[in-house]
Amino acid sequence: MKKTFLSLCIGAVLSTSAACGWGAPVKGADVSWTSEIEANGISYYNRNGVKKDILAIMKEQGMTAVRLRVWVNPADGWYNSTQDVVAKAKRVKAAGMKLMIDFHYSDTWADPGHQTKPAAWNSYSLQQLMDAVWNSTRYTLQAVKDAGVTVDWVQVGNETNNGMLWNEGKASVNMKNYAWLTNTGYNAVKSIYSSAKVVVHLANCHDNANFRWIFDGLKTNGAKFDIIGASSYPTNATGYTWQAANSACLNNLNDMVARYAVPVMISEIGVPWDHAQAQTIVKDMITKVGQVSGGKGIGIFYWEPQARPGWKGYTLGAMDNNGKATAVWDAFK
């Protein structure tokens, strides 16, 4: 008997409701600061003011996934190291949540304006950098795997709007080098977790031109990636209202799906903790990710929602001054 589209979709729901464009995206958060915050004696409180573990609060609010960043040799010697990531990954597994690992390939923050090589790699040639990416990626993922944790997604680079591991991997200097470094990370991931999806992640989801430039360059030079990730900070998008930034982001995500035939996700989103429309802004972006063509908008992660105002100078967390979850958390329910 010929199957109808409806019957095919009903069957597909058992494995992934997004197969027919119906499914809500996976919702989660990057909570990499958790161990450092807790080491400073700071606690978290849910929407009702009850003290709870951060992962328990996330689950209460409808989140099912966690993102954790990795630095090569952190300046403090511990936070965001492989050891720290493994400890947090074990908590993620115990909570029954999905996991993304985010390699910065740096000793500190990697973002559009900073892609500083680890100090130990500073004098490396391109081949030595590729070897280092291979070894570093495998080392951390093997440690996570040895701890009995499944990794669902892996980012090879963080906000690589102009490549990574500058200057050798700076896209505007040598796109081929950046593509080769990306492929090295991709292959390293697959050698440990063959079913994990590899994400290439750029900032400024509203900036379609930058996304096209990077991903055209990667494809031209033979780079592989399974998912395109984007950061979206709608209130920080210069020259845009948050509404326009969200709409431009959706348009860009749809263009990425059409142009490169891969799923997309919001790897980071954040709004000021006390913004009057914070919940509305985030809810609108969650809705838009669910509207990506063909159900290819597969996830959205809030960036460090457990941070209180002013922690490390950051004001886009989702806790108030007393550490209680603000209304923005309700956007994920």
- Nearest of 156, 160, 256 to residue 209 by alpha carbon: 256
204: preceding bond cis by omega (within 30 degrees): no
Tokens of 3: 């199957």
Question: Does 159 qualify as catalytic in the annotation?
Answer: yes
Query: How crowded is residue 148: how many other Cβ atoms within 10 Å of its Cβ?
Result: 9
Q: How far apart are CA 231 and CA 250, in angstroms?
A: 12
Q: Which residue in the list 36, 38, 60, 159 is annotated as catalytic?
A: 159
Q: How far apart are CA 253 and CA 219, in angstroms?
A: 17
For residue 62, count CB atoms less than 10 angstroms from its CB and return exposed for 0-12, middle for 13-18, buried for 19 or more.
middle
Q: Which residue in the list 36, 38, 168, 268 is annotated as catalytic?
A: 268
Task: Render 88-146 in DSSP notation, one character per residue.
Answer: HHHHHHHTT-EEEEEE--SSS--BTTB-BPPGGGTT--HHHHHHHHHHHHHHHHHHHHH
CA atoms within 13 A on the CB side of 88: 30
- With contact defined as beta carbons under 8 Å apart, do 44 and 31 qualify? no
Measured in degrees and rounded to the nearest 5, phi and psi for residue 2 equal -70, 130
CA atoms within 13 A on the CB side of 218: 31
Q: How far apart are CA 330 and CA 324, in angstroms?
A: 13
Task: Report the catalytic residues.
Answer: 159, 268
